[in-house]
Amino acid sequence: MYNSQLTMNHYAGVTAGSVRKPSPLFREVSTIWAIFCREISVAFKSPSTLAMSFAMPVIMMGMVGGNLTQNMAGGLGFDFGLFMLIGMMINMLFMSTSQGVATLVDDHEDNFSEEMLIAPVSRYSIVIGKICGSAFSAVVTMLGTLLVGLFMGITLSVGQFLAILALSPLICLSAGAMAMLFIGIIKNRKAANMAVMLVTMPQMFLSGAIIPITNTSGILMVVSRLLPMTYSLDLTRAVIYAGTPEYGSIVMFSPLVSVMATVAITVVFLTVGTFFYAKSEKDR
């Protein structure tokens, strides 16, 4: 039953706590961190999400990648296995992050988004927290891809692996920003999942994840240059292949161009996507 004495004690505590007014910066950082932790917690509590994290690398790298390696490796002038492993790792980062960000629509349908939107924090903090949390699952999936690659006999050096790991925050941010661009205006779970698939699947082929696009021309070339993963992949390969004879036949742009393009696309997509996300939640 209701206990008046407890109420008094509680409010003594609350008053003491509420004396410290949190600074806006602390609140924003706290929000990003809390959403990041929540995403990880939810991922660990969802057996289906965990199963997908392990199944995706097996399907994408083991089956799709394995088949491509066996049938396309000849005559390219470089090690197709390594080329594809890097492509699949970055693709996994993109796919998993996008799928994670798409759960903003689930939060909307479950009304949990109201809890976040009613808090006195920036919508950018909410979105960035969501992207960071999704990035955690994405990195796990990327590590799964690496393990499947090792099983297939495709190896990365420790230095190459650390380089990819170092680039992964930028890549995940870019993937999350791209997802926000269309998630921002979708308020239906089914439509959001479909939109993610419609963007990530063609991107896998058009951005050079598993098939070289150095000779792509026409409309396909234009589309490939509009996809953020094209620059993320090219940047990663520029770092991995730096100083090797294959560099010229694999890497399309200078690393500086790829970094600038990735940052520009990320900033624009994140700004526009978050704007529409906030607007569509409020303007009904």
Smaller CB separation from another protein, 101 or 164 = 101
* 175 neighbors 100 (Cβ within 8 angstroms): no
Smallest gap from residue 118 Cβ to another protein (A) = 6
Smaller CB separation from another protein, 76 or 110 = 110
Q: What is d(CA 183, CA 283) in angstroms, rounded to the nearest whole number?
A: 15
Binding residues for another protein restricted to 42-71, rule: CB under 8 A? 42, 45-46
Smallest gap from residue 265 Cβ to another protein (A) = 28
Q: Is 16 in the site for another protein (CB under 8 A)?
A: yes
Helix axes 123-151, 24-45, angle to 10 degrees: 40
Smallest gap from residue 36 Cβ to another protein (A) = 9
Q: Is 13 in the site for another protein (CB under 8 A)?
A: yes
* 224 neighbors 207 (Cβ within 8 angstroms): yes
How many amino acids of this chain bind another protein (CB under 8 A)?
A: 47
Smaller CB separation from another protein, 44 or 151 = 44
**Sign for the pseudo-dihedral over CA of 135, 137, 139, 145:** negative
Binding test (CB under 8 A) with another protein, winner from 48, 71, 111, 217: 111
Helices (H), the chain: 4-19, 24-45, 47-57, 66-72, 80-109, 112-117, 123-151, 158-183, 189-206, 218-226, 228-240, 247-250, 255-282
Binding test (CB under 8 A) with another protein, winner from 47, 54, 112, 151: 112
Q: What is d(CA 135, CA 125) in angstroms, rounded to the nearest whole number?
A: 15
Smaller CB separation from another protein, 221 or 279 = 279
Q: Can you give the binding site for another protein, defined by CB under 8 A?
A: 1-4, 6-11, 13-18, 22-23, 26-27, 30-31, 33-34, 37-38, 41-42, 45-46, 110-122, 281-284
